[in-house]
Chains A and B, each alone.
Chain A
Amino acid sequence: MSIILSRIDSRLLHGIVATQWAPSVAPDRLMIIDDEFANDPVKKESMRLGKPAGMALSIISREKAYANFSSHKYDGQRVFLVVRDPQIILDLLHQGEKIPKLTIGCTLIPETEAVKVSRRAYVKKEEIEIYRSIAKTGTEITVQYVPADSEEPLSKYLE
């Protein structure tokens, strides 16, 4: 077992993820894959303030994450993955990782053409194909900001 849940969240590790999602998912490791935060020591250190109790926290670059998964570093751990870019999810699937589920939590309000999928989230036009490819692998994709929100399938919004 490795990735048990993945999430799209423009704020990555923040209050809602740390205090609501992480305790309910209860992984062994919360993993943020993001080059901007992984490669900037101050940003990375600030984000570490959000570390929930009782689990390891990784804030790592794409390159490092892909290499670590390839070398089976997290086999035997239950990983909750949070990213901003769905391409990362697709890349991991392409290199053979199993990702049973992807939750779209929140995104920025795009300046380009996009589909609104909840009060908090949009799918940009150029991301639609990425989400379709993810869904084709069998990964369930839902939209849900906080655990108390009702969970909607993404397919409801993307036809």
Chain B
Amino acid sequence: MRRFVIASHHEFALGLKKTLEFLTRTGHVYAISAYVDSKPLEKSIEEVFSQFARDDEVIILTDMLQGSVNQKFYPYMNDRVHLICGVNVPCAMALALYPEDEALTPERIRRVLEESRSQMIYVNEYKNQADEDDE
């Protein structure tokens, strides 16, 4: 089964989970909002992973590379557990909508990341360019 773990400093993770569920109706999304209370993050992560089977495919989406949240997932990475940082909505959506019968290989994940990166756009300039072609 494919599982998504979204983790962030405070409640971005919870918000992204809700947005993702609204846009895609994906199940199996687990949000970890770190540092909202004094509970150790390691413990929250352990609790989520304890619900998973050994052959589950796990996609972890975190807020930023350098953050302690992302660091804490580093030991969990393997062939079936993928850690992705700097997540945005297009990235989470593309992964959530990926057909579950096609395994998320490193090559496929790389492609999704390239596409979702390109969705971050300075719209002021984007719009101006579009205007030139318009008429």
Contact = CB atoms under 8 A, between A and B. Distances in A.
Chain A interface size, under 10 / 10 to 19 / 20 to 34 / 35 or more: 10 to 19
B9 interface: yes
Contact of A50 (B9, B38, B66, B75): B66
A14 B68 contact: yes
Interface in B56-95: 64-72, 74-75
A148 interface: no
Contacts of B67: 14-15, 18, 50
Contacts of B64: 15, 19
A45 B70 CA distance: 12
Given A15-B9, A15-B64, A109-B38, A50 B71 contact: yes
Interface residues of B, number: 13
Contacts of B66: 13-15, 18-19, 49-52
Contact of B71 (A49, A108, A109): A49
A27 B57 CA distance: 41
A54 B38 CA distance: 33
A11 interface: yes
Nearest to A15: B67
Contacts of A15: 9, 64, 66-69
Contacts of B65: 49-50
Interface of B: 9, 38, 64-72, 74-75
Interface of A: 11, 13-15, 18-19, 42-43, 45-47, 49-52, 108-109
